[in-house]
Structure 1
């Protein structure tokens, strides 16, 4: 690589990392939040872990789709704030005021969408809880899960409010408070979990529902903390409007139009991995245990992809708002290079220290876990490659979101996940008799196809836009 290109790549990587690193660390802290809940439920016993785990899966599915509905808020705010900055440099006072009004309207609209999604999701969560008995679940598990869902449901609304304010702060390129608040929430959540489960510190002894109550309280406290932090910020405070009655209906409709495909994409991806878990379970408990362990590893490393994708997406929105299409063309390569560097380090860890990597999930010296450990070790070689494509496809979705093209991302993921990945997993797992290894090779195939299609779509769309800018109209 020529020295000039390397210098440009390093400069672009530093700019991307400035936004991506706080987001990646925030995502990893959120994983720690869910892990804490799981550990606490496990201390209560198998029945409570099963019921609580089922409830959290339902909560996370609805939360993820709700987050998808407000994700485009960050892109829209990044573009609006970039236009306002450009107007400020040009000393166009009217355009600066218009940019501020646009950001304020987007914040109100985003919070309105979050409110509607939070209320609808909470009601749906309770209805699903009532229907669990019709799905063949154990009666004892259903009863426990219903009480857990009742405790979790109120937390969905402040959770989505937090996400809407998060998109505002990140879109304005001021994400630093996010990490501090999320890290603090992990500690508060652990303490509240313990206190409400066991009734310490004068609090009632709630058992399993205490985990749900603690989670809901932590979502509320996190939302308040982020709001107050943003309100005290001299750049963010004047733009943070909570008067939802003044929400601009066309802006709300625009956010919903952009957000629905994102929510559907997130739901489709979660469903893709859920179905493959059911497939792995058909090959026995050792296969399911190995699948669960490596899936958790993939999920943890995936948070790097989420941070890179979001940062790249916001930078695309910003650069296009400033008319710098040539810079936007480079962002794809920068994000993929950063992803590749991280995945090489992770892959080397899988190859050289598989026992250490798998030790949180298995007793690697126990004969009882020997079969699962052997299989999981083989799967590490697959996910070493798979994780780059998983990261690349998520970056591709983010890049298209930066172009306000959320529908193409959804259509392409449907093709990659379900028309390519799922049949490949079935054929390799069952027809080729590769079992769990075949399932993960199918996952790899689907994610690779999705990544290639998404990145090609982005490059073609951006080059077409660039060519249109370069065309001089005939006299």
Structure 2
């Protein structure tokens, strides 16, 4: 056997071992994040399910209000998402002072965003009627937003702590807290919606009161758990976590602003599509709300994989291990797509049964909404594959330090391809809400393809530009 053949076989064996080693590291970090994401999305799922007992109009109003709230919440979360990557890099360098300063910087930007977005939500509600929305739905959505808006602050504070602990690879406390929040949400929703123990029945607004309460208590509980954790407490109580550090504040801003723009672009894409669907009628808006919530549940799997892959890529990049960066990115994308396939089978096999969990079939007026949403699930079976791929694409590019690229790509994929396609198919071609959903799928597919291509090109460029890059991979940490 020639020397060349032996070398090739060894390289192939080393490559296979590299792939095998990275799956446990990736899934080990992603799994608690996915569980936490599931528990977190259960909060809004509980809201939608319980509002379904009140009727399609209440679901439509809450869906409109939550679309606006989530638009800004996602934007603010994007600004502090970079805290996790920056903390991971500082942890590798064993720079504890930097970690504390980054925590303070994250709280600073979360507070600024929370205050500004709260004011924006209070002002924008009444203007929705100018965008072709049903006046009755707008009135109810405005009442909902008036109560929900202040919850933006504790919600973003919680997200900052979440990315901080993820960067330290200790996301465990999140799961228990979020599970407790789900139980609390169910109890408070029932209590405040229907009234008990001397409290009046607040109906739709009761769900908003419960949501804000849970946001605040979740943040306080998370902070308390960190203070009791011997490994995390020193960072939270460090003088650097209570002191202005201009460099850390600017670092979070520089890394987080493009991420925030990308998240805002994605959330804005879905929000505008929701407004477009709302112009087609109350039933269409109710169907959009339920479909978005169902897809959002599955989206949490790819969100967990995306964050985990991003953190591992940041670590590998810090070591100059560009081969490991490439493999982690491709592996994360593959796992994200694989996870959506069993769910797609369920969508195709029993769409009406799934929708009936959110909208009881026996409730008057729900039959048409159930049928419409069930049709949407057939489209979502394919759509969520591309949604997972583009979400992970954002994370793996962010892990390489490129946050501006995903923003530019989102403008092309969502706004120049997806939105026009949704309008042309849904309105111009007369396909209605099904056409909007099909256009949304086209936009997500284009975005996923562009992001993966950009990731591979960036890794190749970084490898060429890094002298002395390692030939073999270190064990994943």
Interval of TM-score (by shorter of Structure 1 and Structure 2): 0.7 to 0.9
Q: Secondary structure at the match of 1:157?
A: helix
> Runs of 5+ in structure 1 lacking a partner?
85-98
Of 400, 403, 428, which residue of structure 1 is paired with 2:400?
A: 403
Residue 11 in 1 paired to residue 21 in 2?
Answer: yes
Q: Secondary structure at the match of 1:173?
A: coil
User: Quick one: structure 1 residues 120 and 372, their matched pair in 2 at CA, closer, same or farther if it must change by over 3 Å?
Assistant: closer
Match of 2:252 in 1: 255
- Cα separation, 1, equivalents of 2:194 and 2:288: 33
Of 380, 385, 388, which residue of structure 1 is paired with 2:385?
A: 388
Of 178, 191, 196, which residue of structure 2 is paired with 1:195?
A: 191
- Cα separation, 2, equivalents of 1:34 and 1:288: 17
Counterparts of 1:407-426 in structure 2 under 5 Å?
407-426=404-423
User: Quick one: structure 1 residues 429 and 6, their matched pair in 2 at CA, closer, same or farther if it must change by over 3 Å?
Assistant: farther
Of 190, 209, 220, which residue of structure 2 is paired with 1:224?
A: 220
- Cα separation, 2, equivalents of 1:204 and 1:288: 29
User: Quick one: structure 1 residues 190 and 383, their matched pair in 2 at CA, closer, same or farther if it must change by over 3 Å?
Assistant: closer
Structure 1 residue 373, shift from structure 2 partner: 6.1
Match of 2:147 in 1: 151
Moved more, 427-436 or 216-225: 427-436
Counterparts of 1:71-470 in structure 2 under 5 Å?
71-84=81-94, 99-129=95-125, 131=127, 144-201=140-197, 206-241=202-237, 246-280=243-277, 291-361=288-358, 379-430=376-427, 434-470=431-467
User: Quick one: structure 1 residues 216 and 294, their matched pair in 2 at CA, closer, same or farther if it must change by over 3 Å?
Assistant: closer
- Cα separation, 1, equivalents of 2:141 and 2:134: 10
Moved more, 23-32 or 238-247: 238-247
Structure 1 residue 52, shift from structure 2 partner: 4.3
- Cα separation, 1, equivalents of 2:385 and 2:138: 38
Alpha-carbon displacement from aligned partner over 1:328-360 (angstroms, at most 9, x marks no partner):
111111112211221221222233344433442
> Runs of 5+ in structure 2 lacking a partner?
1-11, 470-477
CA contact (8 A) 2:53 2:363 kept: no
User: Quick one: structure 1 residues 445 and 399, their matched pair in 2 at CA, closer, same or farther if it must change by over 3 Å?
Assistant: same
Structure 1 residue 288, shift from structure 2 partner: 5.5
Moved more, 409-418 or 318-327: 318-327
- Cα separation, 2, equivalents of 1:129 and 1:245: 36
CA contact (8 A) 1:355 1:364 kept: no
Match of 1:90 in 2: none
User: Quick one: structure 1 residues 49 and 429, their matched pair in 2 at CA, closer, same or farther if it must change by over 3 Å?
Assistant: closer
- Cα separation, 1, equivalents of 2:78 and 2:327: 26
CA-based RMSD = 3.2
- Cα separation, 2, equivalents of 1:10 and 1:132: 51
Match of 1:34 in 2: 44
Alpha-carbon displacement from aligned partner over 1:222-257 (angstroms, at most 9, x marks no partner):
111111111221211101148666121222122122
CA contact (8 A) 1:358 1:364 kept: no
- Cα separation, 1, equivalents of 2:421 and 2:128: 31
Q: Secondary structure at the match of 1:240?
A: helix
Structure 1 residue 383, shift from structure 2 partner: 2.6
Structure 1 residue 429, shift from structure 2 partner: 3.8
TM-score (norm 1): 0.85
Structure 1 residue 142, shift from structure 2 partner: 5.6
Q: Secondary structure at the match of 2:466?
A: helix
- Cα separation, 1, equivalents of 2:428 and 2:202: 48
Moved more, 140-149 or 294-303: 140-149
Structure 1 residue 445, shift from structure 2 partner: 2.0
Alpha-carbon displacement from aligned partner over 1:9-67 (angstroms, at most 9, x marks no partner):
34312211111111112122222111222344455566655554443333222211111
CA contact (8 A) 2:40 2:178 kept: yes
User: Quick one: structure 1 residues 127 and 459, their matched pair in 2 at CA, closer, same or farther if it must change by over 3 Å?
Assistant: same
Structure 1 residue 138, shift from structure 2 partner: 6.8
CA contact (8 A) 1:79 1:320 kept: no
Match of 2:65 in 1: 55
Moved more, 315-324 or 294-303: 294-303
User: Quick one: structure 1 residues 356 and 108, their matched pair in 2 at CA, closer, same or farther if it must change by over 3 Å?
Assistant: same
- Cα separation, 2, equivalents of 1:245 and 1:368: 54
Structure 1 residue 173, shift from structure 2 partner: 0.4
- Cα separation, 2, equivalents of 1:143 and 1:432: 31
TM-score (norm 2): 0.85
Structure 1 residue 152, shift from structure 2 partner: 2.1
Alpha-carbon displacement from aligned partner over 1:346-386 (angstroms, at most 9, x marks no partner):
22223334443344256789998777666655544433222
Structure 1 residue 286, shift from structure 2 partner: 6.6
